[in-house]
A and B are shown apart, each in its own frame.
Chain A
Amino acid sequence: MSDVAVISTFHSDEECAQGILALHDARIHEFRAFFPFPSEKIMEAVDHVRAWGRSPVRYWQLFGGITGVLTAIAITFGTSWEWNLNVGGRPIISVPPYIIIMFELLILIGGLSGLTGFFVHNRMPVFDLFPGYRSRFSEDKFGLVVQCEESAAAKVESVLRDAGAEDITREILEAATGHH
């Protein structure tokens, strides 16, 4: 018994969202949705079904930002203290100008960390196509790909058809790759 991928194509995002909810109602959880733009309806349906919570990328950005501020403090305070030239009658460690450096490094390191987190959590760059991916899912169609055993495929197909899929095909998967 090998796994198959049931690939359904939807014409509109509303129908795709309904498909996701229908799959959830039918207790089918091994699916992946493909869509060319982040439709609010689909994202809501996904949130409802998956209970993932908010993306963890924000922690990368937060800690990156904090690191940036601390780095700035280290560089500015540290170099002023170590090479202490009195310039313009200002305190050796004069905080108002250093706030600017702290802010810029907060943004720089925070932004770059967030980007890194984004790549890490999406495991990008992705070199292999996900099972069931079709090029039209990046253009104007919405896709729902369900991974299941061959025996269960018919049921999955009927759920999807009822939800409004305009086209359903099957593809046999070579080895059971279980992760998302």
Chain B
Amino acid sequence: MAAAVETNLQPRYIDVDRQVQRAMAPGGLTYWLWVLFCAFLTALGIGFWTNQVYKGLGVTGLTEPTMWAPYITNFVFWVGIAHSGTLISAILFLFRVRWRTAIYRCAETMTVFAVATAGLFPLIHLGRLWFFYFVVPYPNERYLQPDFRSPLVWDFFAIGTYLTISTVFLFTGLIPDCANAREFATGWRKTLYSIFSFGWQGTDRQWRNFQMVYLLLAGFATPLVLSVHSVVSWDFAMTQLPGWHSTIFAPYFVAGAIFSGCGLVLTLIIPIRKFWRLQEMVTIWHLDNLSKIVLFTSLIITYSYCVESFMVWYSQDSLEMTTFHQRYFGPQGYLFWIMVACNCVIPLLLFSPRVRTNTVWLFIISIFVNIGMWLERFVIIAGSLATNTMPSQWRFYTPQVTEVVITVASFGWFLMNFSLFAKFMPIVSMTEMKEGISWLRQAVRTSYPYRKAA
């Protein structure tokens, strides 16, 4: 509950270290039970996946015309989550936004593990997953090369690049922090941090090169954020299916990605700061600003829904009007309205500064955001497919146990990896917090009235 420590309104450099060091202390029983629970969910997922590989995709509810439903939904969902991590760490870095420093490490970690989770789903969806290498361009005897005109091939390149670059970005940023951690760690941890710091000693020459590579990586990661989720959205927009063929998909999906990702950052960072007592590093001021991004992207989503609906009506295209009518008022229409409530209405609460500075409210809203965004992908993907251009084919998707378990297991897998990383690596960037110590002091001072509620 509320920490016994007095709020230190003038944190010094060493205080930053000590707080993060405390967070990195060996985990207690609760922590390991949590990790074990996540591992159990993962194991369940692996079990069901193995069963699916053995028996084929028929064990799922996937059938014509909804050949894409939960797995692709999960894929898009997890890739989307990853994007706000890069937004926070790279794009806000380029804009020199001051509140980024306390949360960007957590966001970047989320990115890397979210992409890793997302990357599993095309494999899960392949059925015969061992043929995935068909999408790699290499000399072969099949008289075929991957069709570079296909959005699925673009996906391979985009996701692969994104996973690589975000991992590189994360581990590059970790170098000075691991050097820092190496100094106060002991035993095998000291070795671990020494390895990941690559012998970093913080000389002027080292920092000069570091600043350049970090700036360049941030500069490269920024268009990557825009491009990767655009490419994922083009998996759908490049078809002629009503409900999918829409030019707004690219920026709309990117905004949605940032929206869901920032929601998940909130979901992760609020418990972390509470259980590991980081309230004076990740202050209410930081959460306030993060939730403004959630609000902003929610408004973009609302705009996109309105424009899409308007344009369907404006164009008077009978195919599109039918699909959208089914989306709003068809058998699975309730999903659409839950989605609107979660994505458009509930985040409006964030206009109120009182809500933005209350961690309980933020946590609840962030859960709704994630539910809403998962539903959005599902409504778009499975909903549009179900009501395609041939009414004789119409059939709405119903989930089976396999997909449900694998979906839940993906959360378990993600949370397990994230929790392990967060415990063993500095989850708040000590280096950048010290660089912005003057703003941290102001943030602590500004957030002090909200301290007791945290």
Judge whether B203 and A32 touch: CB under 8 Å.
yes
- When distances are taken between beta carbons in the complex, the residues of chain A under 8 Å from B13 are 36, 139-140
Judge whether B223 and A140 touch: CB under 8 Å.
no
Judge whether A126 and B198 touch: CB under 8 Å.
yes
With A57-B216, A111-B168 as given contacts, are A104 and B157 in contact (CB-CB < 8 Å)? yes
Query: In this assembly, does A1 line the interface, its C-beta being within 8 Å of a C-beta of chain B?
Result: no
User: A129: shortest Cβ distance to chain B, in Å?
Assistant: 7
Query: In this assembly, does B233 line the interface, its C-beta being within 8 Å of a C-beta of chain A?
Result: no
Judge whether B168 and A112 touch: CB under 8 Å.
yes
Closest B residue to A106 using CB positions:
B220
- When distances are taken between beta carbons in the complex, the residues of chain A under 8 Å from B201 are 34, 126, 129-130, 133, 137-138
Query: In this assembly, does A42 line the interface, its C-beta being within 8 Å of a C-beta of chain B?
Result: yes
User: A44: shortest Cβ distance to chain B, in Å?
Assistant: 11
Judge whether A105 and B161 touch: CB under 8 Å.
yes
Task: Name the interface size band of chain B.
Answer: 35 or more
Instruction: Pick the contact of B205: A83, A108, A139, A180 (CB < 8 A).
Output: A180
Query: In this assembly, does A168 line the interface, its C-beta being within 8 Å of a C-beta of chain B?
Result: no
Interface of B (DSSP majority class) = helix
Query: In this assembly, does B398 line the interface, its C-beta being within 8 Å of a C-beta of chain A?
Result: no
Query: In this assembly, does B308 line the interface, its C-beta being within 8 Å of a C-beta of chain A?
Result: no
- When distances are taken between beta carbons in the complex, the residues of chain A under 8 Å from B12 are 140
Judge whether A126 and B164 touch: CB under 8 Å.
no
Judge whether A55 and B209 touch: CB under 8 Å.
yes
Query: In this assembly, does A19 line the interface, its C-beta being within 8 Å of a C-beta of chain B?
Result: no
Q: Provide the bound-state CA to CA distance between A121 and B412, in Å.
A: 41
Contact with A along B119-162 (1 / 0, CB 8 A): 00000000000000000010000011111111001100110110
Q: How many contacts A-B (CB < 8 Å)? A: 181
With A32-B203, A38-B435 as given contacts, are A139 and B198 in contact (CB-CB < 8 Å)? no
With A36-B180, A75-B137, A115-B168 as given contacts, are A97 and B220 in contact (CB-CB < 8 Å)? no
Q: Provide the bound-state CA to CA distance between A85 and B147, in Å.
A: 9
User: B73: shortest Cβ distance to chain A, in Å?
Assistant: 23
Query: In this assembly, does A61 line the interface, its C-beta being within 8 Å of a C-beta of chain B?
Result: yes
Q: Provide the bound-state CA to CA distance between A33 and B160, in Å.
A: 38
Judge whether B206 and A122 touch: CB under 8 Å.
yes
Judge whether A118 and B199 touch: CB under 8 Å.
no
- When distances are taken between beta carbons in the complex, the residues of chain B under 8 Å from A58 are 212, 216
Judge whether A83 and B143 touch: CB under 8 Å.
yes
Query: In this assembly, does B165 line the interface, its C-beta being within 8 Å of a C-beta of chain A?
Result: yes
User: A130: shortest Cβ distance to chain B, in Å?
Assistant: 6
Query: In this assembly, does A88 line the interface, its C-beta being within 8 Å of a C-beta of chain B?
Result: yes
Among A42, A88, A117, A139, residue most surrounded by chain B Cβ atoms (within 10 Å): A139
Q: Provide the bound-state CA to CA distance between A106 and B149, in Å.
A: 18
Among A42, A61, A82, A112, residue most surrounded by chain B Cβ atoms (within 10 Å): A61
Judge whether B202 and A137 touch: CB under 8 Å.
yes
Judge whether B209 and A118 touch: CB under 8 Å.
yes
Q: Provide the bound-state CA to CA distance between A110 and B12, in Å.
A: 38
Task: Name the interface size band of chain A.
Answer: 35 or more
With A112-B164, A138-B182 as given contacts, are A37 and B209 in contact (CB-CB < 8 Å)? no
Judge whether B212 and A100 touch: CB under 8 Å.
no
Q: Provide the bound-state CA to CA distance between A141 and B184, in Å.
A: 14
- When distances are taken between beta carbons in the complex, the residues of chain B under 8 Å from A105 are 157, 161
Contact with A along B419-442 (1 / 0, CB 8 A): 000000000001110110000000
Closest A residue to B429 using CB positions:
A37
Q: Provide the bound-state CA to CA distance between A17 and B86, in Å.
A: 33
Judge whether B202 and A36 touch: CB under 8 Å.
yes
Judge whether B144 and A114 touch: CB under 8 Å.
no
Q: Provide the bound-state CA to CA distance between A34 and B203, in Å.
A: 4
Instruction: Pick the contact of B224: A32, A36, A107, A135 (CB < 8 A).
Output: A107
Closest A residue to B153 using CB positions:
A101
Judge whether A108 and B165 touch: CB under 8 Å.
yes
Closest A residue to B211 using CB positions:
A38
With A107-B161, A112-B164, A115-B168 as given contacts, are A46 and B213 in contact (CB-CB < 8 Å)? no
Judge whether A135 and B183 touch: CB under 8 Å.
yes
User: B145: shortest Cβ distance to chain A, in Å?
Assistant: 4
- When distances are taken between beta carbons in the complex, the residues of chain B under 8 Å from A133 are 201
Closest A residue to B146 using CB positions:
A79
Judge whether B154 and A100 touch: CB under 8 Å.
yes
Considering only residues 28-80 of chain A, those with a C-beta below 8 Å from chain B are 32-39, 42-43, 46, 50, 52, 54-55, 57-58, 61, 75-76, 79-80
Interface residues of chain B, those whose CB is within 8 Å of chain A, are: 12-14, 17, 137, 143-150, 153-154, 157-158, 160-161, 164-165, 168, 172, 176, 179-180, 182-184, 198-213, 216-217, 220-221, 223-224, 227, 231, 430-432, 434-435
Interface residues of chain A, those whose CB is within 8 Å of chain B, are: 32-39, 42-43, 46, 50, 52, 54-55, 57-58, 61, 75-76, 79-80, 82-83, 85, 87-88, 90, 94, 97-98, 100-101, 103-105, 107-108, 110-112, 114-115, 117-119, 121-122, 124-130, 133, 135-140, 180
